Homo-oligomer: A and B are copies of this chain.
Amino acid sequence: MKPSALDSGDFTLPGEAGHEQLTLRLAKKWGADTIRDSDGTQLSPEIVQSGYAIYSTICLPRSVQPWARVNHDKLQQNFLMSFPVIATKSKTNLTLLAGFFTEQFAVNVKDSPKQWWQVFDRTTGQEVAKSKWSFNPRLGTVTITGTTPGHRYTVNFLAFRLWEEISMYNHLTNNWGDREHLAAVDPMQPETQKVLLAFLEQWLRDHPDTKVVRFTSMFYNFSWFWGSDQKTLRDIYSDWGDYAMTVSPRALRLFAKQFGYSLTSEDFVNGGLYNSTHNAPSRRYCDYMEFIHGFVIDFGRQCIDLVHRHGKLAYVFYDDHWIGVEPSSPRFKEFGFDGLIKCVFNAFEVRLCAHSTGVKTHELRLHPYLFPTGLKGEPTFKAGGNPTLDAKNFWIDARRGLVRAPIDRIGLGGYLSLVEPFPDFQDYIEGLVREFRLLKSFHAGDRPWTAPAKVAVLTAWGNLRAWTCSGHFTKGVELYDVLESLAGLALDVQFLSFDDLVADGVPAGVKVILNCGRAGSAWSGGHFWSDPRVEATLTEFVQQGGGVIGIGEPSALTQPGQQFRLARVLGLDRDGGERVANGKYKYVAPAGRVAGVADHFITTDVTAPLDLGKDVDGIYVFDGSTQVLAERDSSPRLTTHALGKGRGVYLSGFKFTFENTRLLHRAIYWAAGQESGWTKWSSANVKTEATYFAKAGKLVVINNAGEPQTTIVTLGDGRSTRAVKLDAHGIAILDL
């Protein structure tokens, strides 16, 4: 491609009214083709009419406030579980909203409590008969009769949400005082749909210069229940993927009609755990998700059609009100969106964006956000901040994903005026965007080289939640760390659910199945392992030459005497404390170059004792067929095991580091039995990674560290090498 092609295009700039000159200067410097508004900023006519394409943000459920204020019974709602109360007498009184933030929630007194609510004796686990309790709408209390002293009681009840959570969060975080509390209307009401479509119609007319309508996102927010005392317990519950905040009597009625059975409040409340994405979902809840996904597509499609009828494009932002959107769903394409925009901190989020097949344009919003402070309150664009270094560090994380998967556009967000005092930031972004355009050009009509052995990550969610767990990176959930490692590796990774596995077996070409997470989690799989076909399929897969990598508590679902269903594949199991009397095989203590680590293909690049984060203990191996490569306190941490023609690898935990990424990469090769192919397109220095684009004849070597690096890259013949020197955060492009 011509160098000039690297100078412009594929970049979205946040414009800012009042800073027109800066906006246009940076639009030129950074080669923007598009200018957007942001939360808190507007575009002036001078910007809008400057010839750039314009993105305009819209959040439909919050868009009709005057109507929402007079239609409280059309607001969104959800089930809450009251805080437990212990009975002391045969009559027990309970204030439903005690402990909850009453600016967010109001008890739904409109829909019949006796029809929709449930009262539980949590000590027995039994529902209290509806005749035994009564609701006082004036006091917001429930009185239960016939209670047993010493028993715990809770009420599942419906609550309207008076304050939409993103509005609430921004308002309270930024001390917005008496600025309006925005409420979210429920588009499942036919009347509300009419109001929303009318609003959208008018909005489209009012934004003639807008090229792209940027939905944030569709209708329902991720779940976020606030507590009354925000100093000690602000987030009673917060889950990026739970459909809790879509519920209403209408939704439940329509669900029952469509699925032929009725859901109860407890299907959503689940003893106060709700339906966290991190826990293995029930079948009933999965049905409900399917139902809501269908509704969001149906009504979403009407909105998008309207946008298209106005000659505009519709992009969707993958966060906030994204519930029911599911960009990795096979039905996502039915929305008819033109683009998907993902804000990214990490490489796995780049892969997530690239992974969606229902849109033409995949766009990333990079960090840092143009804001005085970062997410943790640290200075960015103000005194004490170093936004250029921030940008470099975010970029090297995102870039690991960008070299592996094609992304169409990138952009920034926030207050553009803040970058004015930082000329080095302005210069760095100019180079960054060029680097992006160059990488994008290599992806054009080509795919970077990947290892012949495909990898499948097995979780309860499978492809529906590919390249994510639940929102941004969360410490302590090992699969995030694994995904972050995988996101930059030259591997073909796919995501498999237990249902997929049972229905179709291990997909063709997949040589390694990875299962990672704690017992009961959606990631490990929890109750999905109760289907014996899962274990049998994977065991046979390994017997016939496949590889399994288990991390943490893989396949954990307790049977008498066994915790991991794949114990015999991995050659080990976990003792949860029930095996005090059962002897443990005395394995050969690992010893090698690095103290406590046995030398092995997998540990070749290990230079220090393993740091696998907060890993699992109590692991024991069955016999000498399991090789322990690392241990702690007599609990194996890294093992290998052969079964039939195949192999199993176990890691007691995982933490994203360069060394661990390499360890996992090698473990995958070993599990696939493809050690002989390891050197091909590999980079010796673990802080660097190599990517080969065959059509372009380019070898891209990236430095993932903030210090200069040298490395030796082995080429596709597995023998010839190239020595490469890299600047801090740097990249090298070699012509081959």
Contact = CB atoms under 8 A, between A and B. Distances in A.
Given A122-B559, A242-B581, A536-B123, A232 B278 contact: no
Contacts of A173: none
A271 interface: yes
Interface string A460-501: 000000000010001011000000000000000000000000
B270 A561 contact: yes
A149 B543 contact: yes
A270 B560 contact: yes
B236 A583 contact: yes
Contacts of A582: 236-237, 272-274, 276
Most buried by B among A125, A477, A532, A576: A532
A519 B519 CA distance: 15
A535 to B, nearest CB: 5
A539 interface: yes
A151 interface: yes
B152 A278 contact: no
A367 interface: no
Given A149-B540, A581-B278, A232 B271 contact: no
Interface in A671-721: none
A602 to B, nearest CB: 23
A333 interface: no
A223 B643 CA distance: 32
Interface in A153-206: none
A141 interface: no
A430 interface: no
Given A86-B539, A123-B535, A581-B239, A561 B272 contact: yes
A409 interface: no
A150 B644 CA distance: 11
A99 to B, nearest CB: 8
Contacts of A585: 232-233
A232 B624 contact: yes
B88 A583 contact: no
Nearest to A152: B568
B560 A644 contact: no
A559 B150 contact: no
Given A237-B583, A586-B233, A578 B271 contact: no
A114 interface: no
Contacts of A521: 577-578
Contact of A543 (B150, B539, B543): B150
Given A536-B149, A539-B86, A543-B149, A276 B559 contact: no
Most buried by B among A125, A537, A559: A559
A326 interface: no
A148 interface: yes
Contact of A151 (B237, B536, B576): B536
A577 B88 CA distance: 32
Given A237-B581, A270-B561, A470-B581, A232 B623 contact: yes
A97 to B, nearest CB: 15
A543 B86 contact: yes
B623 A577 contact: no
A501 B459 CA distance: 43
A593 interface: no
Contacts of A122: 559, 562
A615 to B, nearest CB: 13
Contacts of A149: 536, 539-540, 543
Interface string A567-580: 01000000011111
B577 A519 contact: yes
Contacts of A231: 586
Contacts of A121: 532
Contacts of A86: 539, 543, 568, 643
A560 B242 contact: no
A277 interface: yes
Nearest to A235: B583
A535 B623 contact: no
A84 interface: yes
Contact of A532 (B123, B278, B474): B123
Interface string A86-128: 1010000000000100000000000000000000011111000
Contacts of A583: 227, 233-238
A62 interface: no
A581 B521 CA distance: 12
A279 interface: yes
A319 to B, nearest CB: 16
A536 B86 CA distance: 10
A183 B701 CA distance: 71
B561 A271 contact: yes
A399 interface: no
A404 interface: no
A520 interface: yes
A568 B122 CA distance: 11
Interface string A13-55: 0000000000000000000000000000000000000000000
Interface string A582-625: 11111100000000000000000000000000000000000110
A666 interface: no
Contacts of A272: 560-562, 582
A234 B543 CA distance: 29
A518 interface: yes
Contacts of A277: 581
A576 B232 contact: no
Nearest to A125: B559
A273 B232 contact: no
A726 B623 CA distance: 53
A120 to B, nearest CB: 10
Contacts of A520: 576-578
16 contacts: A86-B643, A122-B559, A149-B539, A149-B540, A150-B536, A150-B538, A232-B585, A233-B585, A236-B582, A237-B581, A237-B582, A242-B581, A272-B560, A276-B578, A276-B582, A277-B581
Interface of A: 81, 84, 86, 88, 99, 121-125, 148-152, 223, 227, 231-239, 242, 270-274, 276-279, 470, 474, 476-477, 518-521, 532, 535-540, 543, 559-562, 565, 568, 576-587, 623-624, 643-644
Given A86-B568, A122-B562, A271-B559, 5 more contacts: A149-B543, A151-B532, A273-B578, A277-B581, A520-B577
Closest 8 CB pairs of A and B: A271-B560, A271-B561, A150-B536, A150-B539, A235-B583, A276-B581, A272-B561, A239-B581
